[in-house]
Amino acid sequence: MTTVFLSHSSKDKGLARRIAVELGMSGIRVWFDEWEILVGQSITQRIEHGLDDADYVVVLLTPHSIESGWVGKEWRSRVADEAEANDVQILPVLGGDCDIPRLLREKRYADVRTNFESGLRELIYSVRTLAAGDTATVAGARIESGQIVITSVRPKLPLMEGMIQTIRAGCFERHESGLRAHVEVVLPFVAMQNLAEKIGQSRLTLDADAFTLSSDKDAPMRFASHREFRLPRGELFEDPASGRSVRMPGDVLGSTETTVLAHVRGAEIIGQFSQVVGYSGPLPLQRLDAQGEFVAQIAV
């Protein structure tokens, strides 16, 4: 488990405690003096051990901590290590208006002054992403190509079983509590592609509540999306099986529920895909369930 050392002034104990709790609730181990130093123990030795064991030092910057020589000693002890390893080890958090120390001025900081939740989300995202290393699933990573193979469909439609959909493009972005994937899909028949575009199935936006994909296929990340759609009366619908065109005799309302279970394998994302499309209106088919497997090539 990733460990962070929370460096702060004792005068900012309330804010520091709040940050420590939020980090801990997010699955990040926090070295926080209140939790780690018992009565009778050497404060200096415990802090030294905490700094040695920590993967990152989170520095809470406030007027009090800037004036505190103790806080400065804690984070400055990691500056040389960071420079030597050419790797991020010090994560500044701005908790009050103050002059940022010169050695930290070039670093981006998480700002919890006016929006605590937003600043904490950014800090948590950074810790998780840095701890995961240079994975292909950080925000900004691109999906360059891929395919979805439909392995089963209910009710049985011979046209769809074994059908291959092409993943043409996509990318990842960060949202409030995890990753969001945008994927553009091309279907093999023009009629299917036209319908998919009308009901929003050709471009999917899926959300996950975690920031990094695991390489463990037994612990995949779950992405999901829900989209509602409407096909108005008079809309031209082309049956891909027969090739006949029919105009909608009335409005068709529906929704799509898409779920993706994914994990990383080298420069690929692989996993399972499922989608449920439900309709209400003048169509003979009221519900369609499809499952499949997919693979996508990614680049960062």
Closest CA to 277 of 192, 216, 207: 192
pTM here? 0.62
Give the range of the structural domain holding residue 46, as residue numbers without chain letter: 3-132
Q: What is the mean pLDDT of the chain?
A: 86
Round to whole Å and give the CA distance between 255 and 188: 22
- In a domain, residue 125? The reply is yes
- Helix and strand element counts for the chain (H, E): 8, 15
Determine the pLDDT at residue 85.
67
Determine the pLDDT at residue 64.
93
- In a domain, residue 263? The reply is yes
Determine the pLDDT at residue 193.
86
Task: Examine the domain organization and report whether 161 and 127 are in the same domain.
Answer: no
Task: Examine the domain organization and report whether 80 and 109 are in the same domain.
Answer: yes
Examine the pLDDT at 282 and tell me if it is beyond 80. no
Of residues 121 and 243, which shows the higher confidence score? 121
Examine the pLDDT at 80 and tell me if it is beyond 80. no
Examine the pLDDT at 68 and tell me if it is beyond 90. no
Residue range 223-274, pLDDT digits in tens: 999 999 888 887 777 766 666 777 777 788 889 999 999 988 878 899 999 9
Distance set, CA 97 to CA 62, 203, 215, 220, 292 (Å): 6, 43, 41, 42, 53
Examine the pLDDT at 108 and tell me if it is beyond 80. yes
Task: Examine the domain organization and report whether 84 and 191 are in the same domain.
Answer: no
Task: Examine the domain organization and report whether 260 and 288 are in the same domain.
Answer: yes
- Name the pLDDT band for 4 (thresholds 50, 70, 90): very high
- In a domain, residue 137? The reply is no
Task: Examine the domain organization and report whether 287 and 162 are in the same domain.
Answer: yes
Round to whole Å and give the CA distance between 71 and 62: 11
Task: Examine the domain organization and report whether 103 and 156 are in the same domain.
Answer: no
Determine the pLDDT at residue 268.
87
Task: Examine the domain organization and report whether 147 and 294 are in the same domain.
Answer: yes
Q: What are the residues facing 144 on neighbouring strands?
A: none
Q: What mean pLDDT comes out for the span 40-51? A: 90
Task: Examine the domain organization and report whether 123 and 156 are in the same domain.
Answer: no
- In a domain, residue 184? The reply is yes
Determine the pLDDT at residue 243.
66
Task: Examine the domain organization and report whether 290 and 156 are in the same domain.
Answer: yes
Determine the pLDDT at residue 10.
92
Examine the pLDDT at 278 and tell me if it is beyond 60. yes
Q: Is residue 298 packed enough to be buried (19+ CB in 10 Å), middle (13-18) or exposed (0-12)?
A: buried
- Name the pLDDT band for 300 (thresholds 50, 70, 90): low
Of residues 43 and 141, which shows the higher confidence score? 43
CA atoms within 13 A on the CB side of 232: 1
Determine the pLDDT at residue 138.
63
Task: Examine the domain organization and report whether 111 and 209 are in the same domain.
Answer: no
CATH of the domain at 15: 3.40.50.10140
Determine the pLDDT at residue 228.
92
Examine the pLDDT at 207 and tell me if it is beyond 90. yes
Tokens of 185: 């899909």
Closest CA to 70 of 81, 59, 83, 84: 59
Q: Quick count: other Cβ atoms within 10 Å of Cβ 262? A: 24
- In a domain, residue 266? The reply is yes
- Phi then psi for residue 216, to 5 deg, are -85, 110
Determine the pLDDT at residue 289.
93
Task: Examine the domain organization and report whether 195 and 237 are in the same domain.
Answer: yes
CA 76 to chain centre: 32
Round to whole Å and give the CA distance between 273 and 132: 25
Round to whole Å and give the CA distance between 102 and 86: 18
Q: Which residue has 């011979």 as its token pair?
A: 158
- In a domain, residue 210? The reply is yes
Task: Examine the domain organization and report whether 25 and 166 are in the same domain.
Answer: no
Report the domain count for the chain. Answer: 2
Residue range 161-175, pLDDT digits in tens: 889 999 999 998 888
Q: Is residue 266 packed enough to be buried (19+ CB in 10 Å), middle (13-18) or exposed (0-12)?
A: exposed
